[in-house]
A and B are shown apart, each in its own frame.
Chain A
Amino acid sequence: MPDFLRKLIGLLLIFATVGVASCQALVASCSSSSASAPTVLTPRG
């Protein structure tokens, strides 16, 4: 495999895994509070 192609695939994989997991973690931390706050605050029954 040519060096250029190997590095391109490697970088794409890094972006697709590290980048996506990081962004998902950020989205989850921003959105979960708005979802979880009402469940905590809403009285049962």
Chain B
Amino acid sequence: MGRLLLWVGVVLVLLTTLILLLKWKIETMAERYRLPSGQLPSAKGMLMFLLPLPVLFAAITSLARGQLLNLLGDAAGYGLFLGGALLLRRGLLLAVDYDRRRVAKAPLPFKTLGCGVIALATGVTAWLGAGQNPLVAVAFGLAALLGCYLSYGFDPRTAKRFTDRDGVDVTDRVLEALTQAENSIAAIEQASRDIRNTELNNRLRRITALARQILKLLEEDPRDLRRARKFLNVYLDGAKQVVEGYAKTHARVSTPELEDNFRRVLSTIEDVFQEQQQKLLETDVTDLDVQIEVLATQLKREGVV
């Protein structure tokens, strides 16, 4: 039995090393196939869902054989593992979102909490499920906590603050504007569910997708917020009111004129949103042009070029 466990351990070590080496090699070779920043690789954090699966089978076996104590231990262990994995996955998503944004509050400590719950689950499983000595079970838990920390890290604790040109901290204002905009988009999506027209629904889907792209640009560079104020305060809010109003009225009265008017308004909104997105992208290009020009002039002045 001891020899078997040793061999299993050696195979696991070799497999892990091989997987990590392959992953590193693929990432280095296929840089262009990397996910854009802000997108969570689908497999990230999934290991913690798969690795405790034997505990679930152990619980099922205990249930089938009528071993109440084993069943309780295994069920508690697996429940904790599942809860920890869900918390960890949520924490990883929040951390990716935090990394993507230039202005962000420190995320809630889901990752740290998840690591703690997984460590507790490991200890409980080793003690009640596997029948280890409580001290050995504590050691299992601590080692699992260290492993989670080294592999996933803990949550960022500081907020990413943003100051405008006058040196005033506008972090809260920026975050409030972005949250409001996100709520408006969600309200449009919610109202569009009540509209039973494929063509209008497709238009609304395109509009919300455009609005999200604009928000993403604003999240990445909050300096653009000043330029996009009209979009946030007038267009997006107006679009929300119109769509909500149409969804309510459409359920009671449906006339061709109303539908045509709504279609025309949606078309205008789509054009305005596209224009806004284009403006933001052009501003980025202009900013870059100015930076390149400044650098080139400086290099010329210093005689480097």
A residues at B contact (CB < 8 Å): 4, 6-30, 32-33, 36
Contact = CB atoms under 8 A, between A and B. Distances in A.
B17 interface: yes
Nearest to B69: A32
Given A4-B24, A9-B150, A21-B122, A15 B51 contact: yes
Interface in B23-70: 24, 47-48, 51-55, 57-59, 61-62, 65, 67, 70
A24 B132 CA distance: 9
The 9 closest A-B pairs by CB, nearest first: A13-B147, A10-B151, A10-B150, A25-B129, A24-B130, A29-B58, A22-B54, A14-B147, A17-B144
A41 to B, nearest CB: 13
Contact of A14 (B51, B59, B67): B51
Contacts of B131: 24, 28, 32
Nearest to B84: A18
B164 to A, nearest CB: 35
Q: A interface, by DSSP: helix, strand, loop or mixed? A: helix
Contacts of B48: 14, 18
Contact of A25 (B12, B17, B130, B144): B130
Interface in B128-162: 129-132, 140-141, 143-144, 146-152
B74 interface: yes
Nearest to B1: A27
Contact of B62 (A4, A12, A24, A29): A29
A13 B59 CA distance: 24
B148 A10 contact: yes
B245 interface: no
Nearest to A14: B147
A33 B67 contact: yes
A7 B129 contact: no
